[in-house]
Amino acid sequence: MSTFLAEVRETLIPERNSKHGPLPQLLLAMTLLTGLVDAFSFLVLGHVFVANMTGNVVFLGFALVGVPGFSIVASVVALASFWCGALVGGKVGSRLGEHRGRLLSTAASIQVVFLAASVVLAALSRSSMTTGFRYPLIVVLGIAMGIQNATARKLAVPDMTTTVLTLTITGTAADSSIAGGKGSLAGRRFITVATMMVGALIGAALVIHVHIVYPLVIALIVMVIVATATRLVGKPDSPWARA
C-alpha cells in the first residue's frame, strides 16, 4: 500500500528533478479531457467515439452487419479524422520533438482551435443533432484527439497515453510481483484509469442533466490550461523538456 500511495503521489506531485517534470499532471488533465469528449461523442453523436479508435473499429464491424444504432459512415469519418489529426500531431512531433515543452504547448494550442470549433458547433446545434452538425463535430473532435494521441506518443511518458487504457490495465496484472514481474506501477496506472472514468462520468452527467455543450466547454478550458502551463514552465534548459 505504501508503494501504491507513493506512486500516486509521484504522479500528482512529482519531485523537483523528476525525469518527466510536470508532464504526468498535464497528461492526466488530457486524460480527463478524453473522458469528457468521448462521453459527448458516444451519447450525442450516436454510438461513435472520437478518441477510442479501438471502439470505432468494433462499431464499424457492428454497422457492417446492420446492428441498429451504429453507422458505417460515422465510424469511418471518425477513424479518418483521427488519422488526419495523428498525421498533424506526428508532423509537429517531428519538428519539435527535441523539446517536449515546445512540442506539447504547440500541439495543445492547435488542439484548442479544433475544440473551440466543436464548442461553437455544439452551441449552434441547440441539442438538435442533425447531420449538418453531427459530422462536422465528429471531424473536428476526431482531429483534435488524433493530435493529442500522437503528441502523447511522442512525449513517451510511461502509461500516459491519454486515450488508450487497455495496455495500462494489462500492466497492473502482467507486471505485478504476483505474475513474476518487477512491479506493476499500480499507483500511476490506477490514477490514469480513474481520471478517464471521472471525465466520462462528468461528461455523461452534463449531457444528460444540463446541456450537451458543457463537456466540450470544460474540455476546451482544460486544453487551454495545458497549453498555457506548458508554455510557462517549458523553459529551454528544463531537464524534463529534453527528448
pLDDT digits (tens, 9 = 90+) for 193-237: 899 999 999 999 999 999 999 999 999 999 999 999 998 887 777
CA 130 to chain centre: 26
**Beta-bridge partners for 99:** 242
Q: How confident is the model at residue 181 (pLDDT cuts 50, 70, 90)?
A: low
SS3 175: coil
Q: Which of 32, 21, 7, 41 is nearest to 212 (CA)?
A: 41
Distance CA 193, CA 197 (A): 6
pLDDT band at 4; cut points 50, 70, 90: low
Burial class (CB in 10 A: 0-12, 13-18, 19+), 31: buried
pTM of the shown model: 0.90
Angle formed by the axes of helices 100-125 and 131-155, nearest 10°: 170
Q: Is 229 exposed, middle or buried (0-12, 13-18, 19+ CB in 10 A)?
A: middle
When mean pLDDT is compared across 1-10, 61-70, 110-119, 201-210, the lowest value belongs to 1-10
Q: How far is CA 100 from the centre of its chain?
A: 17
Pick the more confident residue, 56 or 16: 56
Q: What is the mean pLDDT of residues 129-152?
A: 94
Residue range 164-181: mean pLDDT, rounded: 72
The set of cell numbers assigned to 113 is: 482551435
| DSSP structural state of residue 178 | G
* Euclidean distance between CA atoms 34 and 164, whole angstroms: 9
Residue 11 scores a pLDDT above 80: no
Q: Residues 150-156: what's their mean pLDDT?
A: 92
> Does the structure show a pLDDT above 60 at 94?
yes
pLDDT score, position 218: 97
Reported confidence tier of residue 29, pLDDT bands at 50, 70, 90: very high
Angstrom distance (rounded) from CA 100 to CA 94: 11
pLDDT at 6 over 90: no
Place of cell 506526428: 90
All residues at 6 or more sequence positions from 198 whose CB lies less than 8 Å from its CB, including other chains:
32, 35
What value does the mean pLDDT take over residues 61-81? 95
